[in-house]
Structure 1
């Protein structure tokens, strides 16, 4: 039950307050190392833990420390140990105030920095402020998003959708590939249909259908090529199982 206080005082031994010998040794250690109420030459009676008069010396020691004890509590080693350990910690702090102030300051700074890092910056935004609405309108104008409705949430979703679909890295890469692969512009009227229906409108509709069919064929061919590449990469890197004495799947 005294683990935290013992650790703070750097007491490197096990401690059982119900053990009389351990209790007396603890009292002597606290006085010698932490409390230091008496001058060294006046600690002899307290150090002599085998002396039959030790309890009288200990009672006087508590009185000099101004411990709020009586004839009953002095026999309660748990309560007395708790008070003595607390007193030792107070003396230890008093001897090293600047040291522990520095530690406390550093710990507080680390907690503050950690808290700042974990905070979500969006939580600090006042979505109802005039400044936010003005910035949102400018962003919508830049992205060519209509702002005729007053639903802020809907506008933010629209902004997010446009940025994701048009301004993300993948969307930009696809756009560049598309631009690089663009052929020479031509008029649909210059395209040869291969037959003449006798009606100009029907001919143009047939050209459009033909172009759509060609596009579907190209998409299918691309998927076929991708499948072939995947199969080839799979076959070119077979797994070898020496236990089965075979190579492959």
Structure 2
């Protein structure tokens, strides 16, 4: 079976003519590739010195290859030189094929490095081609009727989120993201804990007038109600308010991560703190 997958991309990058059919188990393919790499890419030897390496039919070609690899400071050498096909030599053939894999892969990497060195100015000027992907909303074709606009306006008012002035798809996507984030099991659990703590403390007031989130109507209210969330000023109150919001969101994310980590620990402790015991087998925990 032809084993070209480890080398396909490197051979194609080097524009090797027979890159699709290269077979690491075929000695002739290997010899042809080694000679081609030295002649066109690596070029370590002078033209006259390449003679022994080009004599692929010579019995001393393997020795020439090892000398060549030593001059290139390669960490690999060809140790198994037997080309027997007898059944008792299958293990040796497999070991030799593995050696060829290491050697060819290293030589291809060296050739790519030489290719880059020859054309680095041209290659460094190239810019990656970035695909421009348009954002596709899940509710792209939701329409824009008067009845729907009124319903979205009421829903946004209920959820206390802004409504996009012209694009209902953006508004619907915002509502969807908000519901997924705020009404997931972890958020509901945190809210239930908050309500429980509020009832138990008796120091909390029940009036909405004491709820800063309800009373917040502008960015100035955010700065006034949460001065402890920011210990510096940018000189722009709107930027300061945005900083406070981002810091609050970060704290929420950290708390959610801590809660999830605690759940993982609690789950794992079910196995570590209460191991199952099989007295008959003399085994504790499995």
TM-score w.r.t. the length of structure 2 is: 0.40
Greater relative CO (CA pairs within 8 A, separation 6+): 1
Structure with greater Cα Rg: 1
Higher helix proportion, which one?
1
Q: TM-score, normalised by structure 1?
A: 0.45
